[in-house]
Amino acid sequence: MRVVVTGGAGFLGSHLCERLLARGDQVVCLDNFLTGTPDNVAQLLEVPGFRLFRTDVTDYLHVTGDVDIVLHFASPASPIDYLRVPIETLKVGSIGTLHALGLAKEKRARFVLASTSEVYGDPEIHPQPESYWGHVNPVGPRGVYDEAKRFAEALTLAYRHTHDVNTGILRIFNTFGPRMRPNDGRAIPNFIRQALAGEPVTVAGDGLQTRSICYVDDLVTGILAMADADHQGPINLGNPHELSMLDLARWIVDLTGSSSEVVHIERPVDDPTVRQPDTTLAQRLLGWTPQVPVEDGLRRTIAWFREQDERHAFSAPPLAPETTEQILHG
């Protein structure tokens, strides 16, 4: 199949492109490099069937030739990013989704939206089933991301019902793995970076707030299952194993062999107290459950961060987007 991946040079998108190519699909990777980087897909540039284009889906979206699947993964996904670029976050969730849906409509392609557990906000139902409408503060600092995704879900269903586009919605819970940016503001890269540097590991608030973390390889398996199906969703994808941020920080300190101490900092506004997916639908409709134990995933991720530290200590800086124009359309 020929698959378009928006946001394909990001953390999650790059893993998705890699797996699609490995199973024999052709991939058109679109990214404006706002939070992604061409270095995430540099290893794919010589792979037959892979094309990389620097594209902002909020401006214009056109792909020549046939397209079988459109996977819309373009969006800042870390609080530090969407607080830095709130307008861009809202635009990619609204205008970008409109353009991606338009492409799917034009090509008669399957469309899958990467939505988020953030649509549940600070949930009052635990764990969160897809039937739960959420508890979101639309005017809080996180509202630009939460509401962009909620609007994107509504737009996706409108295209399904009005234009008969074969759409699906995935609500993705906290995901981790190699290629996360060390300074992207999310807990796992923060904890790993601080622990490897021997710095204090900073936990927000008392650290008793919980998350359910899923290794990226498992998540990509679930995404591909949804892409190949015809379910409309929404369907939760995530690891139902719940743990506190304090326990996670201590776990990472232990796995890195660090001498770092865990310290507490101010908790962000609207930081959810609990987050745990009900994955019954994913199990029943997609036959999907996470397979990688969290500790194994953490060990792999820590090893990748260590490798990056060593590589960057003895190599030139990574490619900047403006230096890669010659390879983007090759």
Which residues are identified as catalytic?
145
Cα separation, 330 vs 317, whole angstroms: 23
Q: Amino acid identity, residue 177?
A: G
Cα separation, 204 vs 227, whole angstroms: 36
Cα separation, 286 vs 281, whole angstroms: 8
Query: Taking the CB of residue 204, how many other CB atoms lie within 10 A of it?
Result: 17
**Under 8 Å between Cβ of 114 and 233:** no
**Under 8 Å between Cβ of 122 and 135:** yes
Query: Taking the CB of residue 120, how many other CB atoms lie within 10 A of it?
Result: 28
Longest CA–CA span in the chain (Å) reads 58
